[in-house]
Structures are given as C-alpha cells and as structure tokens.
Structure 1
Amino acid sequence: MFASKITSAARSMNLVNRPARDIDMLRHRLERFDDGKGCDPVTGVIIDLAMGDIAMQMIQHTKAFDAQLPVVAFGGHLNNQELAAARTAGADFVMTNGQLAANLTVILERLKGMYQG
C-alpha cells in the first residue's frame, strides 16, 4: 500500500522512483546498474519496516554504500522496538506510517535536494 502511495506522489512531482524489494535490487539501484528501466542517481532511500529483517539490512547496506545518502524508515506506530532498531541501524529519519503519509510530498522534496553525493 505505501509503495503505491510513494510511487504516485513521486510521479506527481516528476521524480524517479525505483522500488527495491531485496538487497540485490537495492544494490543495483545504488550502483546505477543499467537494467533498461533507467538508472538515475539515488538521492534518498525510503524503507518500509514492515519488510522485517530485510528492512534493517537495507538500511545498513545503504549506509555502507554511502553514509551521506539519506535514509527514511517508517513503520507502525505501535512498533516502538522496530522504529528504535531502524535508528540503531543507521536510518536518518524514522517515523510512523501516519507521519510518512501526512508528510510524503515534503519528504520527497527534501530527499531530492538533500543529497549532494
């Protein structure tokens, strides 16, 4: 559900959005692997903590690739341990699903302009 909201918001802002469901897909996006679908530079990563353990691995992988690349992690408001684990894993911004939904266009705009890699 959130993936489609993020994609829709990004499209409405003329931003490139390339979902990654696993570490290999994320690595391809970060390394700008040419898969025929466009390989624009990544200016930020948004990670749904509902993905479980893979979400924490994706945060760590992103930060290992480039510590300056902003990472937003989001999850359920009752999942305090998961939200805290995302902070520990290196996410720059950690928020609830509701916070992401309410501020999505602002977040996307900031991610677009934050990264100077």
Structure 2
Amino acid sequence: MSSVKVESVVKVSALIGEGPVWEESEQTLLFVDIAGHKIHHWSPATNQIKSMETGNTVGFAVPRKSGGYVAGVGRSIVAFDWSTEVMTSLVDIEEDKPNNRLNDGKVDPMGRLLA
C-alpha cells in the first residue's frame, strides 16, 4: 500500500476556509473564509495570494462569464472585481429573514448561479 502525503500549499490563515473553485483559464484557486469575512485568490505559478475583505460572512465566490466575480455576502449576492476591489450589491435575499445568510453557491453547466 502506498502512502499518501497531504500538505498545505496555500499559506493563509482562515477561520472557516471553504468553497474552492479552480479557474482553469487563469490557473488560479478562488476560496472563501466564511467567518473571517474574506475572499482569497491564489496563483500557484507565483505562489501569491490576494485577499479581499467582505465586511460580512461570505459563503461562496465564483467567476462570472462576463468577467469579474459574484459572491454571497451576508444576505446579498454581490459582484466584485480584483483589479478595483470594488464590491457592488446585485440583490438582497430574504429581506424578511434578517438572521439568514447565503451559505454556499455554485454555477451549473447552463451558467445559472445556484445559492
């Protein structure tokens, strides 16, 4: 039986790191720190990591076909861009349930965001 070696390649401290998305076209890894209120973007080619503060819990981040990214932050779906670090609210979810938050999200093969 062969042994398996597991090692951490992304050197970032996260309270609750999850939601990894591999961007094939960019050869980068996108993931979130829910409780740390951050979105991270790692390039294995340069071993550089960019992090963006969200100001609230963040459940997911995914690339947008039109460019940039969308994320679930608190009860909002937001658009954001790494180059400007600007986050724009697109829609608020369940405004009548202030204790709810977006927990997870992915894009299906048709390009629809499921959150």
- Report the TM-score, using the length of structure 1 for normalisation: 0.28
Higher strand proportion, which one?
Answer: 2
Higher helix proportion, which one?
Answer: 1
- Report the TM-score, using the length of structure 2 for normalisation: 0.28
Structure with more contact order per residue of length (Cα contacts < 8 Å, sep ≥ 6): 1
In our comparison, the structure showing a higher alpha carbon Rg is 2
